[in-house]
């Protein structure tokens, strides 16, 4: 089938879309690497190994995006993307039918890191199937027809159509990466201010720090649980992990009066530490309380004491930049 000028445009837009999808997926993995690390390669895999694998996967996706956009290697890039997407479909399908859920995408899909953690597995599966189908069509139509490059084609457009195309691709990628975008928007619009108590730490957008030992399987499980929790928040906190077996990690643990691992600390923008939760049960309780009452209701970890009949409470942890401790 001969490729017409209009079809050239459609092929370029499709390549842009495929490339953008891989770029967003890679960026989402790299930005919050712990979230997919614990779920992509299974919660029994040591965290450092999982992180490395996720980073490699993200770099591979960036390479695919570059190939798809290139003029000379576009067809090979699209073919590689198709093969990768088919592989993803296989993994997703297997996990949907797997009872153990210990390998692969255990909770739906981690392709887009924390962005699409709430997407139902079936939606994620159809999404990947659709992208694979698109890649296949583009691969077939690109046969012997290199067509114009992406940049020259965009430059050939007037500013209005060009903006329309770019906005359309951005919107499409957003919907693909976040199928529950509309639900998040509604949730965000319906947020109410939470009751703030006088002795509560005002935390608007906290960081969540997990103090752990890298080699511990329990810690890897906990990272997965906390990253799941963070991903489900409307205003997602930034998740960081601190290995207490490193000198820097140990120093930070001492600074925040962390007595054991795993521990989780909420740290606000004002660098005032909220409570430090020690052990899985306390961490779960802290997350539940925060879920119910909001970030503003995270009580300070403070031993209570009285001075001349007056109740005194103060944060134990010292202020400082987290996690570098400067």
Partner 1 sequence: MWEIARVPSLTIGIPTYDDFSGVYFTVQALRLYHDLDDTELLVVDNFGCQHTRAFVEKWSGARYVLARDVVGTAAAKNVVFREARGEAVLCCDGHVLIVPGAIAKLRAFYRQHPDCGDLLQGPLLYDDARSISTHLDSQWLGELWGTWQTDARGLDPNAEPFEIPMQGLGAFSCRRDSWLGFNPDFRGFGGEEGYLHEKYRQAGQRTLCLPWLRWMHRFGRPGGAPYAVLRRDKLRNYAIGHAELGLDLMPMVRHFSEHAPAAEVIGTIEEALEVSWLSA
Q: Which residues bind partner 1 (CB under 8 A)?
A: 197-200, 213, 216, 218, 244, 250, 253, 257-263, 274-282, 285-286, 299-301, 303-306, 309, 311, 313, 316
CA distances to 75, 130, 276 from 141, rounded to whole Å, are 9, 17, 57
**Bridge-partner residues for 252, per DSSP?**
none
Q: How far is the CB of 303 from partner 1 (least distance, A)?
A: 6
User: 61 near 23, Cβ under 8 Å?
Assistant: yes
Q: Which is nearer to partner 1, 70 or 213 (CB)?
A: 213
Q: How far is the CB of 293 from partner 1 (least distance, A)?
A: 10
Q: Which is nearer to partner 1, 162 or 280 (CB)?
A: 280
Work out whether strand 238-243 and strand 207-212 pair parallel, antiparallel, or are unpaired. Answer: parallel
Q: What does the alpha-carbon distance between residue 52 and residue 212 come to, in Å, rounded to a whole number?
A: 18
Q: How far is the CB of 318 from partner 1 (least distance, A)?
A: 13
Work out whether strand 310-312 and strand 273-278 pair parallel, antiparallel, or are unpaired. Answer: unpaired
User: 194 near 294, Cβ under 8 Å?
Assistant: yes
Tokens encoding 298: 């995270």
Tokens encoding 223: 């990272």
Q: Which is nearer to partner 1, 110 or 252 (CB)?
A: 252
DSSP assignment of 85-112 equals HHHHHHHHHHHHH-SS--SS-SSS--TT
Q: How far is the CB of 81 from partner 1 (least distance, A)?
A: 44
Q: How far is the CB of 321 from partner 1 (least distance, A)?
A: 21
Q: Which is nearer to partner 1, 70 or 218 (CB)?
A: 218
The angle that helices 280-293 and 217-231 make with each other, rounded to 10 degrees, is 0
Q: Which is nearer to partner 1, 107 or 218 (CB)?
A: 218
Q: Which is nearer to partner 1, 42 or 279 (CB)?
A: 279
Q: How far is the CB of 195 from partner 1 (least distance, A)?
A: 8
Q: Which is nearer to partner 1, 84 or 278 (CB)?
A: 278
Would you give the DSSP letter of residue 204? Answer: S
Q: How far is the CB of 80 from partner 1 (least distance, A)?
A: 44
DSSP helix/strand/coil, 312: strand
């Amino acid at each position: 089938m001969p490729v017409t000028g209009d079809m050239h445009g459609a092929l370029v837009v499709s390549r842009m879309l495929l490339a953008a999808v891989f770029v967003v997926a890679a960026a989402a993995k790299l930005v919050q690497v712990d979230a997919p690390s614990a779920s992509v390669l299974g919660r029994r895999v040591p965290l450092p190994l999982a992180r490395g694998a996720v980073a490699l996967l993200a770099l591979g996706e960036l390479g695919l995006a570059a190939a798809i956009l290139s003029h000379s290697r576009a067809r090979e890039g699209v073919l590689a993307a198709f093969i990768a997407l088919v592989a993803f479909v296989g993994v997703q399908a297997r996990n949907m039918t797997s009872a153990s859920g210990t390998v692969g995408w255990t909770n739906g899909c981690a392709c887009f890191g924390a962005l699409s953690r709430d997407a139902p597995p079936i939606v994620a599966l159809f999404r990947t199937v659709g992208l694979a189908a698109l890649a296949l069509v583009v691969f077939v139509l690109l046969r012997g027809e290199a067509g114009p490059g992406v940049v020259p084609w965009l430059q050939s457009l007037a500013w209005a159509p060009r903006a329309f195309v770019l906005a359309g691709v951005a919107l499409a990628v957003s919907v693909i990466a976040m199928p529950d975008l509309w639900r998040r928007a509604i949730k965000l619009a319906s947020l109410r201010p939470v009751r703030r108590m006088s002795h509560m730490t005002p935390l608007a957008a906290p960081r969540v720090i997990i103090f752990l030992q890298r080699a511990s399987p329990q810690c890897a499980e906990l990272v997965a649980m906390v990253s799941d929790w963070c991903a489900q928040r409307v205003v997602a906190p930034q998740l960081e992990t601190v290995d207490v077996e490193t000198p820097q990690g140990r120093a930070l643990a001492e600074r925040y009066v962390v007595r054991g691992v795993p521990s989780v600390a909420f740290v606000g923008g004002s660098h005032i530490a909220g409570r430090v939760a020690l052990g899985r049960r306390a961490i779960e309780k802290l997350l539940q309380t925060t879920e119910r009452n909001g970030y503003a209701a995270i009580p300070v970890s403070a031993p209570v004491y009285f001075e001349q009949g007056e109740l005194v409470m103060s944060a134990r942890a010292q202020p400082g930049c987290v996690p570098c401790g400067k």
